[in-house]
Chains A and B, each alone.
Chain A
Amino acid sequence: MLNQLTISELTVKLATREVSACEATQACLDQIARVDGKIHAFISHNAADALAQADAADKIISQGGSDARRPLLGVPIAVKDVLAVKNQPLNCASKILGNYISPYDATAIEKLKAAGAIIFGRLNMDEFAMGSSTENSAFGLTNNPWDVTRIPGGSSGGSAAAVAADECFASLGTDTGGSIRQPAALCGCVGLKPTYGRISRYGLVAFASSLDQIGPFTKDVRDCATLLGVMSGVDKRDSTSVPEPVPNYVAALDGHIKGLKLGLPKEYMVGGLDPEIKAAVDAAVKQYEKLGAEIVEISLPHTDYAVAVYYIIATAEASANLARFDGIRYGARVDGNDPIELYSKTRGAGFGAEVKRRIILGTYVLSSGYYDAYYLRAQKVRTLIRNDFLKAFETVDAIVTPTTPTAAFKAGEKSGDPLQMYLSDIFTISCNLAGICGVSLPCGFTQNPKLPIGLQLLGKPFGEETMLKLAHAYEQSTTWHKEKPSLKF
């Protein structure tokens, strides 16, 4: 089926005009119509607009417009509901934004459009990207395509599920503590969190500004490299984007990993790790050895503090970032007799429980008298965590870990226990705190039920090239990425 193709397969067929962008887009729309009632990856999508963009792409293709400057010409890509796309709804899976329509494009979206992509659909997520299961959405649950009684992970659950269910050729997510890699692992696709500063955050509705990054969900590593290349680069609208040259990530996928050193952090192979996951990761490590990589045990001694540090820094930043949603200038408003009452009512009705919990937590840790004990100390420990990684990277080229401690859990299983939910990000959080890059790719399945398992590679700051080279080499020596969920409901 057309919608099952990877981007690299599709673009060849588009360029040779074996298929049209309209057909490719229609194939996605048909798949959505067929399966999204059960998956519910999309909050909304505008079929007419998607087809109009496809039609425009077909015109360019017919005029011979397929070239290296437009590597995504005619490729339908869906977007997490936290990224601004001009004239499309932007809700962050929250009630508080009401019927808000973004008047501008995020920089990453602008770059995808310039590369020819068809940007369609708003993908479900945890409200304001706060969560690990997509259960915190004001627009209902998203279900895991491999088992619809289970969660797809989060917060970019819709982005992962839509790619896994072939409802789009690729999607965008955001990753603040694992929100791309964890759902990618649980849904069996490739998900990459770039180095902090690699992709502009302009147009990404901030959860935690010092941790957030935009990244792609794709069906294989090559497509991931393509999207990363298109979206990367310094942006004058984001002071935290870094003027580091953007290499040709696709060209780096040459399979030459002989002699590269992979670090295995001993702190990541401990209690709570599901035996099937451990077995799959052990097998992947063996596979790497077979491919010529050298495995080195390393230590990241401050790993234990990562979750605590994360929930102080992320919530502190969130408490200020979400202050703008006040019902005054845009979004939903519940009126009051004075501004304070208006704020209370609007925010009381507009935000969900998890968002409120984190705003309160963040407000607390920044409060006068607590700042030094919480926020300031957390920042210091954050530096130690970053130093752990920088030290490790003096001896290894990348680090290999499981992406998650367990495979996809059942909906409702952890939603009553925020702490248990927070621990599902235990392997992914440090990467954001350290500002390095990470990617999750399929490395096997649990037996019963059959659920995807993710392998996480962590790379040096701006070390995406080597990280993707390693990911690609493993992927090409296995067949996990080719497996598809049955989607027979």
Chain B
Amino acid sequence: MEYEAVIGLETHVQLNTKSKMWCGCANQYGSEPNTNVCPVCLGLPGVLPVPNDEALRKTVLTGYLLNCEIPRFAKFDRKSYFYPDMPKNYQLTQYDKPSTANGFVEFEFTGDGSVNGLARVRITRAHLEEDVGKSTHFDRHSGLDFNRAGVPLMEIVSEPDITSADMAYAYLNALTEILHQGGVSECDMEKGMVRCDVNISVRPVGTKELGAKIEIKNMNSFSGVRRAAEFEIARQIHVLKGGGKLIQSTRRWDDVAGITEQMRTKEDAHDYRYFPDPDLMPLAPTDAWLAEVKTKVIELPLARKQRFVRDFQLPAGDAEVFKSNVALGNYFEGIAQQSKNPKAVANWIINNLLAKLAELNAREKSGQEALGLEAADLKLSSLADLKFKPEALLELVNLVEAKTISSSAAQQVFAEMFDSGKAPAVIVSEKGLAQVSDTGAIEKFCDDAIAANPAPVADYKAGKIAALNSLKGQVMKLSKGKANPALVGEILERKLKS
């Protein structure tokens, strides 16, 4: 019997708000333990939560980005369980009335379950809750850091629409790209800003009924999710094929051993005793508030990529670069519309501009590190700091297009404008880089080259066509690189054949 996997993901994402969810403490990673804390986020006796409007806005914005409905009534509930890093021993979350519901994420995917290179995963809900503190275990004791306690945390629950480990991986990348570009989260995996629970079951192909749901808790890397899902799907199929039975349970992923291990079964599942938090008023967003949030909605990365391919005839690879690098995409779009050859513009940006910028950044980095600056304090140039205007790049591309300069001369012009910010036309005239298309002058260079290089001339005449390149190189040298290479080829051939 053939089996198929059914996967749903619960993705926890820290919002990039200035302050925490219920108090004014900084929402900041990497501070000394227990420095971003106050009576409220420590759960001291008598304190009350006050919702962070920025977090509410970013949650609803997420809803819009994920094509969700925004209910006009939402609320926070208490989810009770005891854990040392949870100050109140209940977590505030949205249990049955979330701020957003019923959306979807569409993303590029070519494996099983895709249609025309795209896949769609429905989103059950994206709701808001609070993060907990962090436990660190030492030899004989444990330490608690509450800097993270009360940081706004969004949980994005997908429908079980994912059918493979690869699709889960693609979904997570697409989801976090949307959230990052949408400005709601930094989605920095290394700082624990994205964490994921994976629900996996398998069933015989062609059946509708879901198998026993097995949850892998607390994954903190997407490649880990992919590996864990691959392992778990194979494990479940193996159990079933061996005549075994699977029961609803929670497992943990051992990244080193590359296996999942059972943590607990349904029997010892928590009873969280959810009930509406009486300290908070229900949320009833107004039209005006929603309209304001809506103004922050960005064009989704996939739509942008599709538009770049369609409107500018870009190759998918170029469009992909502009999709994942928003600033670069904006830079491109700013000049592409005025260009007859947007593809060439894209080429210049991706191949030349990025390389130059990377070189500059590398120099800046080593220079600043030599001065003793920490990694976090480095100030590296970005597109906004370039010495030339985007229109100058457009001008450069146009000069090449008009054959005013050769592409090798264009490299020189670009290097110069990158360093000095001078306009391309100025550089071309200062350096005399304008291409020579005057046939009289080129004929003279050709005659000189033929006279001075009898060996390649003889080779060419003996049928070695490649020898023409050597002669071409000589002509270009004589013209100081300014001769129009196409004309040089034509004239040389004519002269050698005559």
- Residues of A in contact with B (beta carbons under 8 Å apart): 83-84, 90, 92, 97, 100, 102-104, 106, 201-206, 208-210, 236-240, 316-317, 319-320, 323-326, 328-330, 339-340, 343, 363, 366-368, 371, 375
Number of B interface residues at 8 Å Cβ cutoff, please give it.
Answer: 30
Q: Which residues of B contact A204 (CB under 8 A)?
A: 46
Q: CB-nearest residue of chain A relative to B82?
A: A343
Cβ contact within 8 Å between A90 and B45: yes
What is the CB-to-nearest-CB distance from A432 to chain B, in angstroms, rounded to a whole number?
12
Q: Which residues of B contact A343 (CB under 8 A)?
A: 82
Cβ contact within 8 Å between A326 and B42: no
What is the CB-to-nearest-CB distance from A41 to chain B, in angstroms, rounded to a whole number?
22
Mask for B41-68, Cβ within 8 A of A = 1, else 0? 0111111111100000000000000000
- 13 A-B pairs (CB sep. < 8 Å): A106-B46, A201-B48, A237-B50, A240-B279, A320-B89, A323-B80, A323-B82, A328-B144, A329-B43, A329-B44, A339-B82, A340-B82, A363-B273
Q: CB-nearest residue of chain A relative to B275?
A: A366
CB under 8 Å from chain A, chain B span 264-300:
271, 273-275, 277-281
A339-B273 contact, Cβ under 8 Å, with A104-B39, A320-B78, A328-B144:
no
What is the CB-to-nearest-CB distance from A129 to chain B, in angstroms, rounded to a whole number?
12
Q: How far is the CA of A204 from the CA of B279 in the complex (A)?
A: 12
Cβ contact within 8 Å between B80 and A320: yes
Task: Pick from A205, A317, A368: contact of B278, CB below 8 A.
Answer: A317
Q: Which residues of B contact A330 (CB under 8 A)?
A: 44-45
Cβ contact within 8 Å between A100 and B45: yes
Q: Which residues of A contact B90 (CB under 8 A)?
A: 320, 323
Tell whether B83 is near chain A: CB-to-CB under 8 Å.
Answer: yes
What is the CB-to-nearest-CB distance from B97 to chain A, in angstroms, rounded to a whole number?
14
Cβ contact within 8 Å between A103 and B39: yes
Q: How far is the CA of A319 from the CA of B144 in the complex (A)?
A: 24
Q: How far is the CA of A262 from the CA of B19 in the complex (A)?
A: 50
Cβ contact within 8 Å between A210 and B278: yes
Q: Which of B47, B84, B144 has the most CB of A within 10 A?
A: B47
Cβ contact within 8 Å between A92 and B45: yes
Mask for B230-241, Cβ within 8 A of A = 1, else 0? 000000000000
Task: Pick from B78, B88, B281: contact of A240, CB below 8 A.
Answer: B281
Q: How far is the CA of A326 from the CA of B279 in the complex (A)?
A: 21
What is the CB-to-nearest-CB distance from B91 to chain A, in angstroms, rounded to a whole number?
11
Q: Which residues of B contact A202 (CB under 8 A)?
A: 46-48
A329-B51 contact, Cβ under 8 Å, with A317-B278, A320-B273:
no
Mask for B301-330, Cβ within 8 A of A = 1, else 0? 000000000000000000000000000000
Cβ contact within 8 Å between B275 and A97: no
Q: CB-nearest residue of chain B relative to A328?
A: B84
- Residues of B in contact with A (beta carbons under 8 Å apart): 39, 42-51, 78, 80, 82-84, 87-90, 144, 271, 273-275, 277-281
Cβ contact within 8 Å between B45 and A97: yes
Q: Which residues of A contact B47 (CB under 8 A)?
A: 202-203
Cβ contact within 8 Å between A239 and B51: yes
Q: Which residues of A contact B50 (CB under 8 A)?
A: 236-239
Cβ contact within 8 Å between A239 and B49: yes
A367-B273 contact, Cβ under 8 Å, with A84-B45, A90-B46, A106-B46:
yes
A238-B48 contact, Cβ under 8 Å, with A210-B278, A320-B275:
yes
Q: Which residues of A contact B78 (CB under 8 A)?
A: 320
Cβ contact within 8 Å between B89 and A368: no
What is the CB-to-nearest-CB distance from B445 to chain A, in angstroms, rounded to a whole number?
82
Q: Which residues of B contact A325 (CB under 8 A)?
A: 45
The secondary structure that dominates the A interface is loop
A239-B43 contact, Cβ under 8 Å, with A316-B275, A329-B87, A366-B275:
no
A239-B281 contact, Cβ under 8 Å, with A84-B45, A323-B89, A324-B45:
yes
The secondary structure that dominates the B interface is loop
Q: How far is the CA of A205 from the CA of B87 in the complex (A)?
A: 15
Cβ contact within 8 Å between B82 and A237: no
Q: How far is the CA of A340 from the CA of B268 in the complex (A)?
A: 15
Q: How far is the CA of A340 from the CA of B463 in the complex (A)?
A: 91
Q: Which residues of B contact A103 (CB under 8 A)?
A: 39, 44
What is the CB-to-nearest-CB distance from A80 to chain B, in angstroms, rounded to a whole number?
12
Q: CB-nearest residue of chain A relative to B38?
A: A104
Q: How far is the CA of A201 from the CA of B47 in the complex (A)?
A: 8
What is the CB-to-nearest-CB distance from A316 to chain B, in angstroms, rounded to a whole number?
6
Given contacts A239-B280, A240-B48, A240-B279, 19 further A-B contacts (CB under 8 A): A83-B46, A84-B46, A90-B45, A97-B45, A104-B44, A209-B279, A236-B50, A238-B48, A317-B275, A317-B278, A319-B273, A323-B82, A323-B88, A324-B45, A328-B144, A329-B144, A339-B83, A366-B275, A368-B271
Q: Which residues of A contact B280 (CB under 8 A)?
A: 239-240
Q: CB-nearest residue of chain B relative to A203?
A: B46
Cβ contact within 8 Å between B46 and A324: no
Q: Which residues of B contact A102 (CB under 8 A)?
A: 44-46
Q: How far is the CA of A324 from the CA of B50 in the complex (A)?
A: 18
Q: CB-nearest residue of chain A relative to B83?
A: A339
Q: Which residues of A contact B45 (CB under 8 A)?
A: 84, 90, 92, 97, 100, 102, 205, 324-325, 330
Cβ contact within 8 Å between B273 and A324: no
Task: Pick from A100, A205, A324: contact of B88, CB below 8 A.
Answer: A324
Q: CB-nearest residue of chain A relative to B273?
A: A366
What is the CB-to-nearest-CB distance from A305 to chain B, in angstroms, rounded to a whole number?
19
Q: Which residues of A contact B46 (CB under 8 A)?
A: 83-84, 90, 102, 106, 202-206
What is the CB-to-nearest-CB distance from B42 to chain A, in angstroms, rounded to a whole number?
6
What is the CB-to-nearest-CB distance from B280 to chain A, in angstroms, rounded to a whole number?
5
Q: Which residues of B contact A324 (CB under 8 A)?
A: 43, 45, 87-89
Closest 3 CB pairs of A and B: A323-B89, A210-B278, A366-B273
Q: How far is the CA of A103 from the CA of B42 in the complex (A)?
A: 12
What is the CB-to-nearest-CB distance from A75 to chain B, in angstroms, rounded to a whole number?
23
Q: Which residues of A contact B271 (CB under 8 A)?
A: 367-368
Cβ contact within 8 Å between A339 and B84: yes
Q: How far is the CA of A363 from the CA of B272 in the complex (A)?
A: 10
Cβ contact within 8 Å between A237 and B48: yes
What is the CB-to-nearest-CB distance from B141 to chain A, in angstroms, rounded to a whole number?
11
What is the CB-to-nearest-CB distance from B279 to chain A, in angstroms, rounded to a whole number?
5
Q: How far is the CA of A201 from the CA of B82 in the complex (A)?
A: 25
Q: CB-nearest residue of chain A relative to B277?
A: A209
Q: Which of B48, B87, B144 has the most CB of A within 10 A?
A: B48
Q: Which residues of B contact A240 (CB under 8 A)?
A: 48, 278-281
Q: Which residues of A contact B275 (CB under 8 A)?
A: 316-317, 320, 366, 371, 375
Q: Which residues of B contact A323 (CB under 8 A)?
A: 80, 82, 88-90
Q: Which residues of B contact A205 (CB under 8 A)?
A: 45-46
Q: Which of A209, A239, A339, A367 has the most CB of B within 10 A?
A: A239
What is the CB-to-nearest-CB distance from B150 to chain A, in angstroms, rounded to a whole number?
13
Q: Which residues of A contact B87 (CB under 8 A)?
A: 324, 329
What is the CB-to-nearest-CB distance from B22 to chain A, in angstroms, rounded to a whole number?
9
What is the CB-to-nearest-CB distance from A44 to chain B, in angstroms, rounded to a whole number?
17
Q: Which of A102, A236, A323, A330 has the most CB of B within 10 A?
A: A323
Q: Which residues of B contact A209 (CB under 8 A)?
A: 277-279
Q: Which residues of B contact A328 (CB under 8 A)?
A: 84, 144
Q: Which residues of A contact B274 (CB under 8 A)?
A: 366, 371
Cβ contact within 8 Å between A326 and B89: yes
Q: How far is the CA of A83 from the CA of B46 in the complex (A)?
A: 7
Q: CB-nearest residue of chain A relative to B279?
A: A209
Q: How far is the CA of A100 from the CA of B45 in the complex (A)?
A: 10
What is the CB-to-nearest-CB distance from B25 to chain A, in angstroms, rounded to a whole number?
14
Q: Which residues of B contact A326 (CB under 8 A)?
A: 82, 84, 89
Q: Which residues of A contact B281 (CB under 8 A)?
A: 239-240
What is the CB-to-nearest-CB distance from A333 to chain B, in angstroms, rounded to a whole number?
12
What is the CB-to-nearest-CB distance from B49 to chain A, in angstroms, rounded to a whole number?
7
Q: How far is the CA of A236 from the CA of B48 in the complex (A)?
A: 10
What is the CB-to-nearest-CB distance from B134 to chain A, in angstroms, rounded to a whole number?
14
Q: How far is the CA of A366 from the CA of B277 in the complex (A)?
A: 13
